[in-house]
Amino acid sequence: MSLSHEFLSFNSREEATQFATRFIQGGLTKALESKATASLMVSGGSTPGGVFDALTETGLDWSRVIVGLVDERWVNPEDEASNERLVRNRLLKGQAGAAGFLPMKTLGDAPQTAVEDRHRAYGPHCEPADVVLLGMGEDGHTASWFPNSGGVAEALESSAVIAAINAEGCPVAGNHTQRMTLTGRAVTEAASAILLIFGASKKDVYDKALSSPVEEMPVRHAIDKLGPRLTVVWAA
């Protein structure tokens, strides 16, 4: 029988944020004890901003840390929907400003044209990634693994670390249907991962995912494959 992940419930989002920050600090510090550089792959969206703020004041040798994205909307980095913009504005500052950064968005018109290039850039830092910070949408997506999206099955089974996703018809993706994402392999081979979720409705989504097939709730893929290397952190 495979070992399962840990689920931690906190009394407030602040406490959950503090725990996630210490988790990331601990994972990177441990990695830097035995390697020249450590990698941190982060999600975007509305949830991780507080963790990013706290990390900017967190002590570790950030000059040896490479920050990458778990996924990206195919918009310019100045766009409010850009995960790169979020990371530049909230994480790559203060102490964490010394970290290196790997964008996903390139000048190409479509994510499909940049998959090989980004695979080459991300590959050395995802074999395995040291710490991955995941989020989850109300539809059970994590990364840009949207249920029934174009390319999601390939992304979950790919031997590469980067995939393109076409999320047309996926309501939670909104207008941002062209996406780039880490693959199932890149996420689930990570040394450690944290899934940070806030709100009662996302707790319901998480509970549903535990008894749903991956096709309906792709976050289940990360939960199953990461097993004890995953910590789920929730606060109302």
Ligand X SMILES: O=C1O[C@H](COP(=O)(O)O)[C@@H](O)[C@H](O)[C@H]1O
- From the number of C-beta atoms within 10 Å of its C-beta (0-12, 13-18, 19+), residue 100 rates as middle
Instruction: Give the nearer residue to ligand X in terms of CB position, either 44 or 218.
Output: 44
Task: Write down the least CB distance from residue 230 to ligand X, Å.
Answer: 14
Q: Which residues bind ligand X (CB under 6 A)?
A: 43-47, 70-71, 83, 135-137, 144
Instruction: Give the nearer residue to ligand X in terms of CB position, either 70 or 209.
Output: 70
3-state secondary structure of 9: strand
For residues 18 and 33, what is the distance between their CA atoms, to the nearest angstrom?
Answer: 23
Task: Write down the least CB distance from residue 201 to ligand X, Å.
Answer: 10
Sheet holding 162-166: strands in order across? 71-73, 178-182, 162-166
Instruction: Give the nearer residue to ligand X in terms of CB position, either 71 or 189.
Output: 71
For residues 39 and 43, what is the distance between their CA atoms, to the nearest angstrom?
Answer: 13
Instruction: Give the nearer residue to ligand X in terms of CB position, either 60 or 152.
Output: 152
C-alpha separations of 54 from 91, 93, 97 in Å: 8, 10, 13
